[in-house]
Chains A and B, each alone.
Chain A
């Protein structure tokens, strides 16, 4: 049986931990609200650009632009893994990394890896994978301009034939409790079939469809990447909030258990001392 002092010390340290996890829970909750709002705010843009691309693809055909063209066989794909910089976010990062490792196994040799966030970089480096480029996370308030270097790298590699395609692996925000890792093909761009009932060839493109497509596709890529960054941020915060809420509750349970043990030990000691005194008195 541990001593009273020892138990008291443990209760104290668990209380400190609970304070920290509770603070982290509330911080994550307020950041989550903002992250969720910006994720939702970015959706209309992504959806609209999808529609315009579908319209254009109908006019120009699938081969209208290098970014739409299927690559020649031979070169390897690039996998972009989005993770967070900081841990204590539940199973978010480990789920993502497991998903990425599975993808890498099936993708075969030579697959290039680009990581966003420290956690993914560390895990893949430990796994012995060669990382082509590693970006730090984009923080709590990512802006559209932040993703430009990443987008430029991906697009340049693809256009130069150094990569046969790009797959993004990022968590998708299903609900506060559920985040699913998802792999989506970024390049070559697959046009959606959604034209909302207007055949693309009814549009007048100015100055001409080629120029419009030329200007549109890089933005499309950037908006998809930006969306992935936003989803990652929202998932990080919600996952951390839930993990910290559980930790806070567990700490509460632990404090209850420890307090019970403490009282028992205290009572045992008192009883023992009483017996000692009583038996000492009767021995006299």
Chain B
């Protein structure tokens, strides 16, 4: 018995369809949601998620922050950012990574805000890289 899975971000609807399972990164580790899960809400962290669609295909997805709400027939993921492995652009990620690394080596420790922003950008780029790798292995 599949459930309806929706992954939405403030900018778009990333994924919607029937799924037979989904694994999501939460702030306390990964959580796997299967059909007939009890009503549940939790805070998402940054990491990699896996959607098992109803036809058995597995989609990898990079998720940063947000929530998941599980209802009896519907799982709703409200993420700050969510990108499917197939949508990630390797060239763009490499550029973002290089930029963040450059800022980190330039800024040193003088500007805490810039360092924090660059660290966040770097970890985001690394996550996107990891998820994009999944696509190539398949």
A202 to B39, CA, bound (A): 7
A47 to B65, CA, bound (A): 18
Prevailing SS type, chain A contact patch: helix
Interfacial chain A residues near B55, Cβ < 8 Å = none
B67 contact from A202, A216, A226, Cβ within 8 A: A216
Indicate the size class of the contact surface on chain A: 20 to 34
Q: Within residues 86 to 124 of chain B, which ones have a CB less than 8 A from any CB in chain A?
A: none
Structural contact, B69 and A48, CB atoms closer than 8 A: yes
For the complex formed, measure the closest distance between the CB of A56 and the CB atoms of chain B, giving whole angstroms. 8
B-contact bits for A215-226, CB 8 A (1 contact / 0 none): 110010011001
Structural contact, B39 and A212, CB atoms closer than 8 A: no
A48-B76, A198-B71 known; A206+B13 contact, CB < 8 A: no
A52-B67, A207-B28 known; A44+B43 contact, CB < 8 A: no
Q: Within residues 41 to 58 of chain A, which ones have a CB less than 8 A from any CB in chain B?
A: 41-42, 44-46, 48-49, 51-52, 55-56
Interfacial chain A residues near B53, Cβ < 8 Å = none
Residue A211 at the B interface, CB < 8 A? yes
Residue B49 at the A interface, CB < 8 A? no
Structural contact, A205 and B42, CB atoms closer than 8 A: yes
Residue A204 at the B interface, CB < 8 A? yes
Residue A26 at the B interface, CB < 8 A? no
Interfacial chain A residues near B38, Cβ < 8 Å = 204
Structural contact, A48 and B78, CB atoms closer than 8 A: yes
A198-B71, A206-B28 known; A45+B8 contact, CB < 8 A: yes
Instruction: Name which residue of chain B comes closest to A215, CB basis.
Output: B43
A204 to B70, CA, bound (A): 9
Structural contact, B26 and A203, CB atoms closer than 8 A: no
Interfacial chain A residues near B8, Cβ < 8 Å = 44-45, 48
Instruction: Name which residue of chain B comes closest to A47, CB basis.
Output: B8
For the complex formed, measure the closest distance between the CB of B24 and the CB atoms of chain A, giving whole angstroms. 12
Interfacial chain B residues near A203, Cβ < 8 Å = 39-41, 69
| Chain B residues bordering chain A, tally (CB within 8 A) | 26
A28 to B9, CA, bound (A): 26
Structural contact, B40 and A206, CB atoms closer than 8 A: yes
Structural contact, B43 and A144, CB atoms closer than 8 A: no
A211 contact from B10, B12, B40, B43, Cβ within 8 A: B43
A52-B78, A204-B38 known; A42+B10 contact, CB < 8 A: yes
For the complex formed, measure the closest distance between the CB of B129 and the CB atoms of chain A, giving whole angstroms. 20
Q: Within residues 186 to 223 of chain A, which ones have a CB less than 8 A from any CB in chain B?
A: 196, 198, 202-207, 211-212, 215-216, 219, 222-223
Residue A38 at the B interface, CB < 8 A? yes
A45-B78, A52-B41, A198-B39 known; A206+B10 contact, CB < 8 A: no
A143 contact from B11, B65, B66, Cβ within 8 A: B11
Interfacial chain A residues near B6, Cβ < 8 Å = 44, 48
For the complex formed, measure the closest distance between the CB of B18 and the CB atoms of chain A, giving whole angstroms. 17
For the complex formed, measure the closest distance between the CB of A146 and the CB atoms of chain B, giving whole angstroms. 11
Q: Residues on B close to A: CB < 8 A?
A: 6, 8-13, 26-28, 38-43, 65-67, 69, 71-72, 76, 78, 80-81
Give me 18 A-to-B residue pairs in the complex whose CB atoms sit less than 8 angstroms apart, sorted by A's number.
A41-B12, A41-B13, A44-B13, A45-B10, A48-B6, A49-B78, A52-B69, A52-B78, A196-B71, A204-B39, A204-B40, A205-B41, A205-B42, A206-B40, A207-B43, A216-B43, A219-B66, A219-B80
Question: Besides the contacts A144-B80, A204-B40, A219-B65, what 6 more A-B pairs have beta carbons closer than 8 Å?
Answer: A38-B11, A41-B13, A48-B6, A48-B69, A49-B67, A207-B43
